[in-house]
Amino acid sequence: MEKTNTRIILASSSKYRADILSRIGVKFEQFSPNIDEYAADSESADQLVKRLAEEKALSARDVYQNSLVIGSDQVVSGPAGILGKPDNLTEAVEQIMVHSGQEVTLSTGVALLNTKSSRLQSNVDHYRIKYKTLDRKTVERYVKREQPLDCCGALRAEGPGINLLQWMRGNDPNTLIGLPVIYLCAMLENEEYCLY
């Protein structure tokens, strides 16, 4: 299969997802979807991230014809229930402190829409992490330095946030950052898109 020139759209304003796509050699354009990221009643973490990833991809279908559109979403679930990004620095500290010494799961949904055929593929990947037993001053210093308001659960594990963790487990380290690349590559191959 030869490398294709198919137009790829990332339906996300996330710099982290954009960085992942750039690192694996995908040329793409970014589109900021206008999606209400609410959780429906009794919706599980997996159902939520899958639905939002699909909605983000579908939000670009009228703007980009003959394109492959990527949508993705992530939440963390643990003792405090389902959490997304913190609204402020105080909430960021609390999101981390509530998980001190606890195991949590990051659920990351990814969707790929072919706007020409209307084919929509989606999947959810998981990453398990365990926080160290943390003291508030350490967490406050981390939050003040990193300002992780754009990170699910206020964790930026690819930077100094790694020091908050005892261990991490998963199949795809990109899932932790916010884009399950192994699943995405399989979806792109299904659309006969070749990375190289």
Q: Which residues are catalytic?
A: 73
* Positive or negative: CA dihedral 193, 183, 33, 150: negative
Rounded Cα–Cα distance for residues 118 and 67 (Å): 10
Q: Is beta strand 7-10 parallel, antiparallel or unpaired with respect to 67-78? A: parallel
Q: Tokens at residue 67, please? A: 């394109």
* Neighbour-count burial for 106-130, b at 16+ CB within 10 Å, e otherwise: bbbbbbbbbbeeeebbbbbbbbebe
Q: Which residues pair with 105 in a beta bridge?
A: 77, 128
Task: Give the CA distances from residue 51 to residues 38, 70, 131, 182, in Å, rounded to whole numbers and listed in that order.
Answer: 10, 13, 28, 19
Give the total residue count for the chain: 196
Q: Which residues pair with 192 in a beta bridge?
A: none
